[in-house]
Amino acid sequence: MNKDTILGFFFIFLILVGYSWYVAPSEQEIAQQQKELASQDSLREIQKEQSRIAETDRKMMKAADDVEQQNTIAEPVTDDTSLNKMQIQKFGSYAAVSKGEEKEYTIENNKIKLRISTKGGNITYAELKDYHTYDSLPLVLFDKNTASISYRLNDKQVETKSLYFQPIVKDGDDLEDSVFVKDGETYSFAMRIYPNDDNGNILKDKYLEFAYTITGDDYMIDYNLNMQGMANYVAPGYNDIPLYLNMNMMTQEKDAIQEAKQTGILYRYQGEDESVDELSLTSIDEEKESLSTKVKWISFKQQFFAFTIIAEDHFAKAEIVQKGDESPSNPKFLKSMRADISIPLSSNSDFQSVPMHMYMGPNKYDILRKYNLDLERQIPLGWGIFILHWINRFVTIPVFNFLSGFGWNYGIIILVLTILLKIVLFPIAYKTYMSSAKMRVLKPEIDELGKKYPNKDDSVKKQQATMSLYKKAGVNPMAGCVPMLLQMPILFALFRFFPAAIELRQQSFLWADDLSAYDSIFEWSAQIPLLSTFYGNHISLFTLLMTVSTIFYTKMNNQMMSSSQQMPGMKTMMYLMPIMFLGFFNNYASGLSYYYFLANVITFSQMYLMRRCVNEDEIRSKLEANKKKPTKKSKFQSKIEEMAKQKGYQQKK
């Protein structure tokens, strides 16, 4: 990068800043815009009030219709009572359970708290007891106000969410409104509905039920769809029953923008060799995909938590949809998700059970791994590149878990982890330094070759003379690059690990209140052109420290390296790179920036100590001695010559 290029970048920057200033509205225009906005707000308020009045009128009319409809029913529903024709016409075989009283039953263990309602028979609330939102509220993973589970039962579009179920417990157990399941124990609970005949009489020998089994100290719940004699009442004539799962994902974290980028639908087909696929996590546009073959599980995943429905065998097929919103009415909204799942049925059995499971819990590797369902692949550990997730699975996570067992602050754990990694990588760092030291010793001779061949036309001769010098001295110019390349997978693996480690969530260290999100020492609300877009509206101190330490490391490294061995403009580019990444890391996990800062400081210290301890005069003497020795051919060169001789011999023959 020459002087003209740098000046070009500088003038482009001035043009961008000048253009931003030029197109900025004047004070009069701003006042006019504010006036128009105020007028629009007033109009919206009037429209809201009109909508509220209309909604109130609608509810009053609906209430009057309900009262009138109830008055047409002579008695409450019993085995002997016939339902009116209107209910039977609307709900068919489920008219008997189309009305009832909604009541919720609470079941919990040490990990999760569930509420199951008689209306719909399904879960209406799931709270993770060991976690809280960033603003210290209970972490609710599933709520009836933002999520629903329902089955469509027949062509009348009757869904289970509109029906009233009856709670069922095992024989000998008492029905309780609230149950706590202790470690090592299980609790079984079911919600059941009975169909009715054409006259409205309830058929007690037939039923559909949702059976739940909750185990103490576990996030996984057994969930069975059981049916007795329901072949003519549940999806008659079809081979499967549709299950509708809908959720509006709400933010749980400090940085909703980064959380949204890790929120999406993931799924896995049945089969041992099947990988985990996903809809686009970063897109806010509507994403849709039809899963036409056997599906093992579908997961609605957030950054650190997931709601996953799992088939014991498989789901027949599914259609999944997700969509974000650039300007949601609810500031906590991330994305809406929907899965229309086909549950396979059997027509050959009077009683059939479809076993399923629900996981509602954290995206923690050790927890997800134990289920042996590839659920841990929801955690972005670098699965696309095998060596990255190998490093995280078999090195980083075990060491991290071991250090966590001491009960230290996670800032200290990251420090110790960094020191251990640097100790392991020290031989590579030492070899890199020795290579650069040899190049430094040979620099005067290389400069002499530059003077000997000053013209561009002599570049080939200069290159040949330089390589000959390296060969005589026993120096490999690429020896310093290979060790650096060996360290790159570790850097990329940890780049994946820290933002995905739920252990760092809401863990404070020094000024950072959450190592899984950005740290901030100063914030502002005003939108500053360019700066707010590319940098953000806060200052991350760990990111600044990482950037400054990288620049110091680059400067020291350039001083020790021979400038003639660098590509044109490389030195300038190495200084620009930390500044270019400043905006990116400013909004990333502070634990990652903290790790890179520590790694730079330790590397800087290692290089300083090696420079003090390594005697370059001894290196120079050794290289001079190498020049006097006869040049040995490498095995590769000997092999090439051998092949050439054999080829020449065959041609003569």
Element (H or E) spanning 259, and its range? Answer: helix 256-260
Phi-psi sector, 80: left (phi>0), alpha (psi -120 to 50), beta: alpha
User: Whole-angstrom Cα distance, residue 209 to residue 227?
Assistant: 6
31-60: string of b/e by CB count within 10 Å (b at 16+)?
eeeeeeeeeeeeeeeeeeeeeeeeeeeeee
Of 119-133, 290-304, 354-368, 525-539, the one with minimum mean pLDDT is: 525-539
Classify strands 522-523 and 538-539 as parallel, antiparallel or unpaired.
antiparallel
Element (H or E) spanning 358, and its range? Answer: strand 351-362
Q: Which of 374, 384, 355 has its CA nearest to residue 272?
A: 374
Write the CB contacts of 571 (distance below 8 Å, at least 6 apart in sequence).
Answer: 558, 563
> Which of 57-71, 72-86, 452-466, 574-588 is modeled with the greatest confidence?
574-588
- The DSSP output letter for 510 is T
User: Whole-angstrom Cα distance, residue 298 to residue 339?
Assistant: 8
Residues 308-337 have pLDDT tens digits of: 999 999 999 999 999 998 888 888 899 999
For residue 168, give the amino acid letter. Answer: I
Write the CB contacts of 274 (distance below 8 Å, at least 6 apart in sequence).
Answer: 268, 296
User: Whole-angstrom Cα distance, residue 397 to residue 405?
Assistant: 12
User: Whole-angstrom Cα distance, residue 341 to residue 242?
Assistant: 6
More confident residue, 180 or 560: 180
Q: Is residue 269 within 8 Å of 294, Cβ to Cβ?
A: yes
More confident residue, 246 or 567: 246
The mean pLDDT value for 291-308 works out to: 94
Residue 44, pLDDT above cutoff 80: no
CATH (residue range 90-379):
2.70.98.90
User: Whole-angstrom Cα distance, residue 445 to residue 625?
Assistant: 15
**Other beta carbons less than 10 A from residue 496's beta carbon:** 22
The mean pLDDT value for 448-472 works out to: 72
How far is residue 596 from each of residues 418, 549, 560, measured CA to CA in Å? Answer: 9, 9, 22
According to the model, what pLDDT value does residue 79 have? 41
pTM, whole model, 2 decimals? 0.76
According to the model, what pLDDT value does residue 67 have? 41
417-448: string of b/e by CB count within 10 Å (b at 16+)?
bbeebbeebeebbebbbbbbbbbbbbeeebee
- CA 607-573-556 angle, to 5 degrees, is 20
Q: What is the mean pLDDT of the chain?
A: 80
DSSP result, 387-398: HHHHHIIIIIHH
> Please, which pLDDT band fits residue 479 given cuts at 50, 70 and 90?
low
Q: Is residue 605 within 8 Å of 597, Cβ to Cβ?
A: no
- Angle at which helix 426-452 crosses helix 459-473, to 10 degrees, equals 130
> Which of 74-83, 148-157, 199-208, 211-220 is modeled with the greatest confidence?
211-220
- Enumerate the domain spans of the chain: 90-379, 389-628
Proportion of the chain above pLDDT 90, given as a percent? 42
According to the model, what pLDDT value does residue 529 have? 81
CA dihedral of 414, 417, 422, 424, whole degrees rounded to 10: -170
Handedness of CA 357, 231, 206, 83 (dihedral sign): positive
> Please, which pLDDT band fits residue 442 given cuts at 50, 70 and 90?
confident
According to the model, what pLDDT value does residue 594 have? 93
Residues 58-116 have pLDDT tens digits of: 554 454 445 444 443 333 344 434 556 777 778 888 988 999 999 999 999 999 999 99
Residue 503, pLDDT above cutoff 50: yes
User: Whole-angstrom Cα distance, residue 594 to residue 510?
Assistant: 11
Residue 214, pLDDT above cutoff 90: yes
According to the model, what pLDDT value does residue 396 have? 92
Of 188-192, 382-386, 618-622, the one with minimum mean pLDDT is: 618-622
The mean pLDDT value for 593-614 works out to: 86
Of 29-33, 112-116, 378-382, the one with minimum mean pLDDT is: 29-33
According to the model, what pLDDT value does residue 1 have? 44
Handedness of CA 561, 564, 570, 572 (dihedral sign): positive
- CA 318-324-329 angle, to 5 degrees, is 130
Residues 394-415 have pLDDT tens digits of: 999 999 999 999 999 999 999 9
According to the model, what pLDDT value does residue 237 have? 79
Classify strands 104-108 and 178-180 as parallel, antiparallel or unpaired.
parallel
> Please, which pLDDT band fits residue 463 given cuts at 50, 70 and 90?
confident
Of 211-220, 553-562, 642-651, the one with minimum mean pLDDT is: 642-651
According to the model, what pLDDT value does residue 551 have? 83
Q: Is residue 483 within 8 Å of 431, Cβ to Cβ?
A: yes
What is the radius of gyration, based on Cα positions, of the chain?
Answer: 34
User: Whole-angstrom Cα distance, residue 151 to residue 232?
Assistant: 16
Query: What residue spans of 374-473 are helical by DSSP H?
Result: 386-391, 397-404, 410-424, 426-452, 459-473
Chain CA centroid to CA 519, Å: 19
The mean pLDDT value for 465-487 works out to: 68
